[in-house]
Amino acid sequence: MSSLSTPREGLLHVVPHLFLGIELSPFDSSSNKSTLLTSESGRNWAIAPALVEIIRAIDGHRNTQQIIEVIAPHRSLAIELRLIEIIWNDLVDMGIVVGCDEVGLQYSSKQESASRSALSLRIPLFPPRCVLAISKVFQYLYIPAIAWVLVVFAISTQIYWGIHSTWPSTYATRIAGGRWLAVLLLVGIAYLFHEFGHTSACTRFGGKCGAIGFGIYWVYPVFFADVTGAWKLPRMQRAIVDLGGIYFQCLCVSLLIIWNYLKPSYAVSMAIFISNASLLPNLYPFLKMDGYWFLSDITGIPNLMSILENLIRFDLSGIRCYRARLQSIIYGYCLLTSVFISNIAIALFIGFIS
């Protein structure tokens, strides 16, 4: 991380530069933070108008003092210090600004901003061109008439499965060793199809998609799809991209249910059970998974988790920019998330000591 290690006077003469590929674009949300800032690495932030003004003033020619004079001509010393901190701490750490002072001291982010995600060990399996080609085929599953028919089909097959399936322990013991590989393969295909659900929705609405790959989310192995281009879409389209993975995974499971109906198999039954078991946790809004992003997009509150982090530090600044009704949703979300995380922590502690 960078820090203000040189005197304020020295920094005032440094010319900050924006990294190539930094973009400001309109953002559909419920707050007055209506601008989306996109870094070269594809990371996005919903930012306040005051920060937009600062970024627009950084033109690669003005030094810090001239930028501050443009933004706040009648400033106090405290405001001047805060603006220096924003430019040379906050924006540098975000990977937005880079600079070099007269003694050659570099100011640049030492941490790749995308690596701050909870997802680590990103191994691409399908490059962006391949993802785009496949998503262009599957995007037709989002034509409203086709989508409604398929949703009814998926719900019907799940109801049939719920009525006719038995508890998995009854067939888990009857799957021979080698057959477990078939179970893993079928589950893997359902999870991969899930990721193409996100990218196909994003492609349908004109959003840019990156790679699909394999990574580690905290400690769990997962597939991931890069749909950061969806941030530039309207809220309702973003919400469909969020649920697209569940939609595609349910369709894949429906095909397995039909397969199992035509040719009953313990391995296929187990694959259906495992795939279905992952659907509900995926919809929890308390972790940054599909349910979290759906809640975030449907309410137009893009930073629920950081608002919660600020609340823990008694900082209400992230909440005040929302209307009273949305503030109630935020407080409710923060309360439920705190209860959820506390319960997990207590369960882990009890498990650890017993």
Least Cβ distance, residue 298 to Zn ion (angstroms): 15
Query: What is the smallest separation between the CB atom of 82 and Zn ion, expressed in angstroms?
Result: 39
φ, ψ of residue 298 in degrees (nearest 5): -70, -30
Tokens 């799940």 sit at which residue? 158
Residue 291 touching Zn ion (CB under 5 A):
no
Rounded least distance, CB 179 to Zn ion, Å: 27
Helices (H), 30-94: 49-57, 64-71, 77-85, 91-93
CB of 334 to Zn ion, least distance (A): 23
Binding region for Zn ion (CB under 5 A) out of 105-113, 182-190, 241-249, 268-276: 241-249
Residues 50-79, one symbol each (x = binds Zn ion by CB under 5 A, - = not), give ------------------------------
Which residue, 21 or 221, has its beta carbon nearer to Zn ion? 221
Smallest distance from the beta carbon of 67 to Zn ion, in angstroms? 41
- Going from the C-alpha of 143 to that of each of 130, 139, 148, 151, 206, the distances in angstroms are 22, 8, 9, 12, 14
Q: How far is the CB of 131 from Zn ion (least distance, A)?
A: 14
Stretch of residues binding Zn ion (CB under 5 A), selected from 14-22, 59-67, 104-112, 284-292: 284-292
Interacting residue with Zn ion among 290, 301, 308, 330 (CB under 5 A): 290
**How many CB atoms within 10 Å of residue 212?**
25
CA-CA distances (angstroms) from residue 206 to 136, 139, 171, 199, 345? 10, 11, 44, 10, 41
Among the listed ranges 161-169, 232-240, 244-252, 296-304, the one in contact with Zn ion (CB under 5 A) is 244-252
Minimum CB–partner distance for residue 245 and Zn ion (Å): 3
Binding-site size, Zn ion (CB under 5 A): 2
Residue with smaller CB distance to Zn ion, 99 or 245: 245
Contact 18, 60 (CB under 8 A): yes
| Residue 226 or 290 having the CB closest to Zn ion | 290
Mark the segment that binds Zn ion (CB under 5 A) among 53-61, 81-89, 289-297, 333-341: 289-297
* Three-point CA angle 95, 38, 301, nearest 5°: 110
Minimum Å distance from CB 293 to Zn ion?
A: 8
Taking CB atoms, the residue at the shortest distance from Zn ion is 245
Q: Residue 223 pairs with which residues in a beta bridge?
A: 214
The span of 74-82, 109-117, 237-245, 342-350 binding Zn ion (CB under 5 A) equals 237-245
- 3-state secondary structure (DSSP) of residue 15: coil
Listing DSSP states for 180-196 in one string gives HHHHHHHHHHHHHHHHH
Rg for the chain, CA atoms, rounded: 24
With contact defined as beta carbons under 8 Å apart, do 205 and 233 qualify? yes
By beta-carbon proximity to Zn ion, the closer residue of 28 and 290 is 290
Q: Name which of 74, 240, 56 is nearest 143 in CA terms.
A: 240
Among 99, 245, 302, 318, binds Zn ion (CB under 5 A): 245
Residue 185: Cβ within 10 Å count: 12
| Residues found near Zn ion in the complex (CB under 5 A) | 245, 290
